[in-house]
Each structure stands twice: as structure tokens, then as C-alpha cells.
Amino acid sequence: MHSSTSSSDFERPVPKVPWRGLLWVTLGLTALAVFAWEMRARAWGYAPGLNDTDDLWADRRDAVQPDSMVLIGDSRPLFDLDLDALELGFGKRPIQLSLAGTCAYPVLTNLAADDSFHGTVIVGMIPAIWFVPPAAPPFQNALKPLKRYQTRTLSQRAGHHLGMLLEERLAFMRGEDLVLAKLLEKVPVPDRPDSYLPPALPPYFQTIARDRRTRMAEACARPGPLQERVKHGWIPLFTAPKFPEYTPKEVLEAIGASVEARFGDTVTAVNRIRSRGGKVVFVRFPVSGDLKELEDRLTPRSGPWTRLMKETGAPNIYFSDHPELIFDCPEWSHLSSADSVEFTRRLVPHLMRALGQ
């Protein structure tokens, strides 16, 4: 017995509306909204340019050859080293793997674990960042691009390269500042009593090329609102929060053990690269103003830096040892685009001596 309400007898009614007209209206409104958002982004001072994504970093990690010169570290070698000047000095273009806001130790261990790699590693090191525990954001921030490099799919690669075509043409594609999640983070919310919120990260103040050559934005290099906003954001970021009185003793001991282990693990990674004929050089990049005073107080040169250099036996360059390497950082932490070129030219002879060239 067949049901009189069989699904085969059902027909969904289609409204009689001007679909073609609705399509054109929708496309027109979308185009208008995109144009308006683009104009707003440009009025805020943004310009088209690449985002420093995990995929962009993975592209450069893919480019590492067995004998490559590789640059790793935090944002200082990212901003302060000019790839053209290094290529002119060494005859080969280095691979830029430095990452803003990260501890580069995981990247060093990744290179050390690559048995095919026997090249040169230039390590930019800020002691306060190098020795953070694995759970800390700078350490975790370094693991994300490494994971992307190790696991990304063909579709993710294709999406990344298509996305770059849009980023190079549209200012509102600035993912570090202008996506909804980042805009919501800027909504002021007062702290609750006895709560701790991490300090705000500095705004996006650089341009980056496909080879990850990074340059400070001109608006940050000269005195003005952007420079002041970036400059005064470093102190809270570099000031570690105080542990609450109720922090278990075991937690504090675990953090201390993590710092102690980082010395030995770094020595192991350096020796592993050396055992294959590779070379590792540590560099302390320029810092100035109140931030230099803070870093010198929290991690004086006689502390972790000196101990690590002694235990690794690696050649190293400390900027303040050489008057020609002392530069004034406009926002205390990084060099302007022009100064990065001059700094790199002056650094090359020191690197050559450290590498025995």
C-alpha cells in the first residue's frame, strides 16, 4: 500500500522573484562593502603587503639546502638583517627563519635533527626569551610554524599561494590586525580583581617580502603615534609577571629545571650541527632606551649569555663590544629599514671572522 504523501510527489515551490537582479544587487553590495573596508584600512595607514604566516615561514624552511646559511631568532634578526647585504658579503643568499615574538630554540633543534643539514646558523638571541619554559607563549609560537611545515597539505599550500596574490593587493588583508578576532581583542575590558591579563602585543609595523626580508614601516621609524605605541609596549611584554603567593613550590621548581635543561639541550643541538661540519654563531643585536636598561637589569651579560657561550664554545658577537655595531633603535627594539642595511654591512666582517672565513 503506497502512501499518498510519497516524497516523490513533493515539489518545493520556487518563489517567483527576479533572481538575476538579486544576484547583481548582492554582487554590487559586496563590492561596495569591500571597497569601503579597503578605504578604511588605508585611511588607518595600512597598505597592501604579505602577512608573516606559518605558511610563509614553511616556504622558507622548505628552501633550506644542506649547505644553506640560515638566520634564526626572534624579531631582531628578522628586522635587523638585510638579505641583500649578506648575499653580497657571503656570495649566497641566506634563508630567513627568524620569528617575531618567539624563542628560536625549537628551530635550532629542528635544524640539528635534520641529518642532511651541515650549513651555517646565525642565531639571534635575547636571553630572556631563549630560556622561557615550553609552556610559555614565545616557545609555543615557534612550534606552530614548525608543525605547519611538517604537516601542511597540498590544498593548504595552494590556498597560501592564492592568498598571497590578494594580500599583495588589498590592505584590509592584514591578518595580524584587521581580522575580526584581532579587532575584538582591542575592545577595552577592565581587569577583574586579582586577575592577570597578558600585555597587549604591538601593532603590525613592518612590511615583509616573499623571502621574509622584513623592514620597519616608515611611520614607526619616525617620531609619531605609531612609534610611541610600539615603544611603550615593550616594557610590559619584557617584564615577567609575578607569581601569585599561592603558586605551588613544585611549579616554580619545574620552571627552574626547564631553564637549567635549556643550557644542556642548546649545547647538544649546537654540537650536533658541528658534528656534521656545520657552524653556529650567536649574535646579540642592538637594543636601546628604557628597554636596554630593563634587559641589562633582568638578564645581565654576565648571566645566561656568558654561561651559554662558555658551555657551547660557539663564536659569538655582542653588539656593544663594537662601536660600529651600536645603533639607536627608533622604538628601542629594532632597526629602521635604512639602518638595517648599514648594520648588516658592518656585521658581515665580524661574521666572517667568527666563521673563520
For residue range 106-146, list pLDDT tens digits in order: 999 999 999 999 999 999 999 999 999 998 889 999 999 99
- Residues 103, 129: Cα–Cα separation, whole Å: 5
Position 6 scores a pLDDT of 54
C-alpha cell at 334: 629594532
Read off the amino acid at residue 341. Answer: V
- Residues 195, 56: Cα–Cα separation, whole Å: 36
How far is C-alpha 275 from the chain's CA centre? 29
Buried b (16+ CB within 10 A) or exposed e, 76-97: bbbbbbbbebbeebbeebbbbb
Arithmetic mean of pLDDT, 312-325? 97
Position 241 scores a pLDDT of 66
Which region among 117-121, 221-225, 311-315 has the lowest average model confidence (pLDDT)? 221-225
- Residues 277, 231: Cα–Cα separation, whole Å: 41
Arithmetic mean of pLDDT, 69-91? 97
- Residues 318, 284: Cα–Cα separation, whole Å: 5
pTM of this structure:
0.84
For residue range 281-311, list pLDDT tens digits in order: 999 999 999 999 999 999 999 999 999 999 9
Position 255 scores a pLDDT of 76
- Yes or no: say if 299 and 331 are a contact pair by the CB < 8 Å rule: no
Whole-angstrom CA distances from 291 to 126, 154, 229, 324 are 12, 43, 14, 20
- Residues 80, 221: Cα–Cα separation, whole Å: 13
Buried b (16+ CB within 10 A) or exposed e, 12-35: eeeeeeeeeeeeeeeeeeeeeeee
Helix (H) or strand (E) holding 195: none
Question: Which of 310, 234, 306, 308 lies closest to 76 in space, CA to CA?
Answer: 234
Q: How many CB atoms lie within 10 A of CB 288?
A: 16
- Residues 45, 239: Cα–Cα separation, whole Å: 29
Q: Is the pLDDT of residue 313 over 90?
A: yes
Q: Give percent of the chain with pLDDT exceeding 70.
A: 87
Instruction: State the CATH class of domain 54-187+204-354.
Output: alpha beta
- Yes or no: say if 285 and 317 are a contact pair by the CB < 8 Å rule: no
For β-strands 214-216 and 206-208, DSSP reports them as: antiparallel
3-state SS, 78-102, equals: HHHCCHHHHHHHHCCCCEECCCCCC
Question: Among positive and negative, which fits the CA dihedral 57, 309, 130, 202?
Answer: negative
